[in-house]
Chain A
């Protein structure tokens, strides 16, 4: 809620920088096995808890694993969860929003009450309980984060559908006998796309934040799989003696979410 209505700076280079950064992150995550200086679980027992150096740019953890390598592999998990959960949210949100907006009446009332209810329940605590109860694998975690984030998209899509459905080309399509499903899918939803794209981009950032928060509390991605959140969780106890263990994964979360928000805002600004 707090991010969706916020607009970024007027046209600057920021969106381009953010877009480039996101691209680099995706490439880095995809090519992690090639780019990473070490194997993902390689132990350098002579260099445990080593501070950043030429040999280990981001230092090493308590088992002598290279933090840069783990950050790169963690990017795969964190970005995948952010992207896929946003797509799940977008799909549910588009379905709920277009049915509510186009069908109207009872369907609208019921679906919007459920949306309001879901928005009122504190999101992170709800997810923390769900994750603690279900102890999910990564795919289930993606689903949970997606299920917790469709409400904003549903509201945006419903509003757009309502305004589009009143336009002449929609009545024209209906007049020549197109079925409601066809009218929504072929005529209304394409017009909703820009607004839904903004909501989805913002949902990517939110998904990454939620995953990292869940993992930070130990109920998200479980070790030995590295995610930025669980690297922070493990770093917490040795924060003062080995700060690099917390600084780098956290900085990655920050930069990624920042880039998502900047890109989302730029799409939103270009739309209006």
Chain B
């Protein structure tokens, strides 16, 4: 087991190198390089820019710059935000709790919806047709538009819920925080629950069609036992894998949702940094997003190990 984890971690090193190279190349492809904001600012003199270029090592060859950046990044020195001069790492870390809160609640909501819907769709044809329609709709829904509509109806017309932020100005009590969470979490959960109910439905269908289910049925087990105790445990490994992989891809959804609802997480840090061309923050964001994908990939493999006894001997 430990050997498996170590091997996977070692395999991910070259992948991370490729990713960092791609991201680094993109940032430095910018006309004017990372200092382009200063180039557009009439108050910054050319000699200041020259001085900054030297100070930041931007006059060095790209290869040297990349290696220097990589060494610093690995050591936890992620540079300073161009916008306010604070360490990038600090800026990211202070935003993480809000994002985890949002994504966590959205995932729980999505699971609560997807589990029953996925299971029932696998066995009930009529229910399946209705839920399929909703699922395809949920997957196709543009996140930003759905967010705007929810704001329009529940915050605007009905006035039931706050339209943005994580809490009211005074900090807010528990109910105030929950009220702020509902709309953004619903937006994120909608697409997830649609996709997840489909995955589960398919995994359940594949399982129900297998001979051991027929054998169990011929032994006279109730449909309920059949589904929940025989089919579900077998469908679970596939389902858990896709769920974890989907969660790992939440960076895009978080960027959109957080900026619509002014949720003070990493996603809105990204849009703020983009507006200011704060390249140090942008690079760190992309690296963190990619690392999250790879870590959750590993977690997914470990989860399958834990859930499916057949895979345990194989490694």
Contact = CB atoms under 8 A, between A and B. Distances in A.
A118 interface: yes
A8 B132 contact: yes
Interface in A67-85: none
Contacts of A114: 18
Contact of A209 (B26, B142, B289, B294): B142
Max chain A Cβ within 10 angstroms of own Cβ: one of B136, B198, B255: B136
Interface stretch (A44-52, A100-108, A150-158, A255-263): A255-263
Contacts of B286: 121-122, 125-126, 129
B148 A236 contact: yes
A117 B19 contact: yes
A118 B289 CA distance: 12
A165 interface: no
Nearest to B142: A253
Given A113-B15, A116-B15, A213 B148 contact: no
A127 to B, nearest CB: 9
B22 A117 contact: yes
Nearest to A258: B140
B145 A246 contact: yes
Interface string A1-44: 11101111110101000000000000000000000000000000
Contacts of B270: 125, 128
A120 B19 contact: yes
A119 B248 CA distance: 11
A235 B145 CA distance: 11
Contacts of B290: 117, 120-122
B140 A205 contact: yes
A265 interface: yes
A1 B15 contact: no
A9 B19 contact: no
Nearest to B251: A122
A260 B136 CA distance: 10
B26 A6 contact: no
Given A117-B22, A261-B136, A3 B195 contact: yes
B98 to A, nearest CB: 17
A169 to B, nearest CB: 30
Contacts, number: 156
Given A9-B129, A9-B133, A120-B290, A125 B255 contact: yes
Contacts of A9: 128-129, 132-133, 136
A16 B256 CA distance: 32
Given A124-B252, A254-B142, A258-B137, A239 B151 contact: yes
B15 A117 contact: yes
B27 A129 contact: yes
Given A2-B249, A113-B14, A125 B289 contact: yes
Given A117-B15, A250-B149, A261-B136, A124 B191 contact: no
Contacts of B274: 128-129, 132, 217, 219
A261 B139 contact: yes
Nearest to B145: A250
A250 B148 contact: yes
Interface in B240-292: 242, 245-246, 249, 251-252, 255-256, 259, 270-271, 274, 277, 282, 285-286, 289-290
B144 interface: yes
B255 to A, nearest CB: 6
Nearest to A109: B14
B35 to A, nearest CB: 12
B202 A240 contact: no
B29 interface: yes
A129 B26 contact: yes
B188 interface: no
A243 interface: yes
Contacts of A123: 252
A91 interface: no
B152 interface: yes
A106 B142 CA distance: 39
A212 B156 contact: no
Contact of B245 (A1, A6, A128, A258): A1
A114 B16 CA distance: 10
A100 to B, nearest CB: 15
Contacts of A205: 140
A21 to B, nearest CB: 12
26 contacts: A2-B192, A2-B246, A6-B136, A6-B195, A8-B132, A9-B129, A12-B129, A14-B136, A117-B19, A121-B23, A122-B290, A125-B270, A126-B286, A128-B270, A129-B27, A129-B286, A132-B277, A134-B31, A205-B140, A212-B142, A217-B274, A235-B148, A257-B142, A260-B140, A261-B140, A262-B136
Given A128-B255, A246-B149, 12 more contacts: A2-B249, A3-B195, A6-B136, A9-B132, A10-B125, A14-B133, A118-B22, A124-B255, A133-B29, A239-B148, A240-B156, A246-B145
**3 closest cross-chain pairs (CB), A and B:** A250-B145, A9-B132, A122-B251
Interface of B: 14-15, 18-19, 22-23, 26-27, 29-31, 36, 125, 128-129, 132-133, 135-137, 139-145, 148-149, 151-152, 156, 191-192, 195, 198-199, 202, 242, 245-246, 249, 251-252, 255-256, 259, 270-271, 274, 277, 282, 285-286, 289-290, 293-294
